[in-house]
Structure 1
Amino acid sequence: MAVSIENRVKKAITNYKRGKIFFPSDFSKLGSSTAIRKALNRLENDTFLLRIAHGVYLYPKEHPSFGILYPSTEQIAKAIAKRDKARIIPTGIQALNKLGLSTQVPMNIVYLTDGSARSINVNNGSIKFKKASPKLLSVKSNSIILIIQALKELEEKNVNSKIKERIKQILQTEDKDIITHDIKLAPQWIAKIIKELIAL
């Protein structure tokens, strides 16, 4: 029985391209959770799969020069969010990076989410999911969410003209009605900066 489930899991995985991330729940229709985990452990022992975090498996893709190509911490976080049908919001350095305000790529990343709060160790870093406030989750524009998180990381005293110019460029692509809605949900000092930029 266990061997049969292992073969069925293996066959299901080979229907996808290498580099895909899998979770035990992806195979729930093939057997009990215990049997699925045992099957995944055996496939890991056979190096058919790589376990990149607790309960997170990679169907490895190998580069002729660089060896195994591991997914980024962000790709893993997005895969977890997709599995959980949860929304995730980048914070800190990652928010700055996504807006082009920083070249730093953090190894330890924190997301705000409407899903479960927890921490996961991956590769050489970690992913932390923290509960997002209902107020922030009510923001409609993903760009404005990133602006709010990036400015919180910088703090008001560090927001210079170069940063304001970049934020202005981003805001110019947004619908005015959405901006009007979203700035009511931002901290007061951030709302003030956005108002000043869209008025210019």
Structure 2
Amino acid sequence: MFRFTHERARLVEIARQRRAEQARLAKLEEQRVEYLDRKLAQAEQRDRLRTFLMTLPPDSISEEASVRSITGRYGTRAPSVEQAVQAFARQQGEIVVPSGAAAANILGLSTQVPVRSVYLTSGRSRSMSFGKQVVELRHAPRWQLALADRPAGVAIRALAWLGPESADTALGTLKRTLSPHDFSELASAAPQLPTWLAQAVGKAAYGRCPSQP
């Protein structure tokens, strides 16, 4: 009886070890697949970037600015879409900034993640292919491009996208999340903004509209 019980316990332990080994191997396989998926995604991103750059006119962007690899702590990588677009903007002499929807997401004023890559530009509107994606450049009025990539400029574009109905609430959030310097810079830009936005910014900054004594 003792021998039978001992043998049964040994078989149970063998089965347990076998299941543990199978789980370990399955985990390793899962990690291997995840690693290969990441590498494949990186390769596809590089291919999309090359395709995007090939769609640009030959004289619109320099070879060095567009395709130069970036060496960092974790090795060499291709430039991102954002970097390629900014290189294009420098070559064209345009102001190019992320759209209001992207700005609102960056600042935490919206949980909506833009599906398309949209940028506002001081130049003409146009679209450029980026593999299966499309990078869309939309001409925007000068006030939406004010302060370019500074936090106050990002706030202006987010507020423009959110519209008058959400401006007061968004400005309350921005007053808490932006640094005093950045919020002061936003308030200083009020004269450049349309009336509805200038009044909302003035109310948030000074407790009154700029036009009020």
TM-score, normalised on structure 1? 0.55
For residues 51 and 157 of structure 1, what CA distance do their matches in structure 2 show? 41
Cα drift, residue 96 of structure 1: 0.9
Alignment gaps of 5+ in structure 1 = 1-18, 20-46, 62-67
Tell me which residue corresponds to 1:4.
none
Given that 1:171 and 1:198 are in contact with CA atoms closer than 8 Å, whether structure 2 keeps it comes out as no
Indicate whether 1:98 and 2:106 are aligned.
yes
For residues 50 and 142 of structure 2, what CA distance do their matches in structure 1 show? 37
Tell me which residue corresponds to 1:8.
none
Tell me which residue corresponds to 1:155.
163
For residues 129 and 67 of structure 2, what CA distance do their matches in structure 1 show? 15
Number of residue-to-residue matches in the alignment: 145
Indicate whether 1:78 and 2:86 are aligned.
yes
Alignment gaps of 5+ in structure 2 = 1-41, 71-75, 208-213
TM-score, normalised on structure 2? 0.52
* DSSP-derived class of the 2:181 partner: coil
* DSSP-derived class of the 1:173 partner: helix
Tell me which residue corresponds to 2:140.
132
Q: Deviations over 1:63-87 (max 9, x none)?
A: xxxxx96654323322211222321
Cα drift, residue 111 of structure 1: 2.2
Structure 1 stretches of 4+ with a deviation exceeding 6 A read none
Q: Deviations over 1:141-193 (max 9, x none)?
A: 633332222122222223464x33331132622374x5454101112222122
Residue type at the aligned position of 1:147: A
For residues 197 and 149 of structure 1, what CA distance do their matches in structure 2 show? 17
After TM superposition, the structure 1 = structure 2 runs for residues 60-75 of structure 1, keeping only pairs within 5 Å, are 71-75=79-83
Percentage of pairs with the same residue: 25
For residues 95 and 203 of structure 2, what CA distance do their matches in structure 1 show? 29
Residue type at the aligned position of 1:191: A
Q: As a proportion of its length, which structure holds more strand? A: 1
* DSSP-derived class of the 1:100 partner: coil
For residues 187 and 168 of structure 2, what CA distance do their matches in structure 1 show? 23
* DSSP-derived class of the 1:78 partner: helix
Given that 2:168 and 2:204 are in contact with CA atoms closer than 8 Å, whether structure 1 keeps it comes out as no
Indicate whether 1:198 and 2:176 are aligned.
no
For residues 194 and 180 of structure 1, what CA distance do their matches in structure 2 show? 6
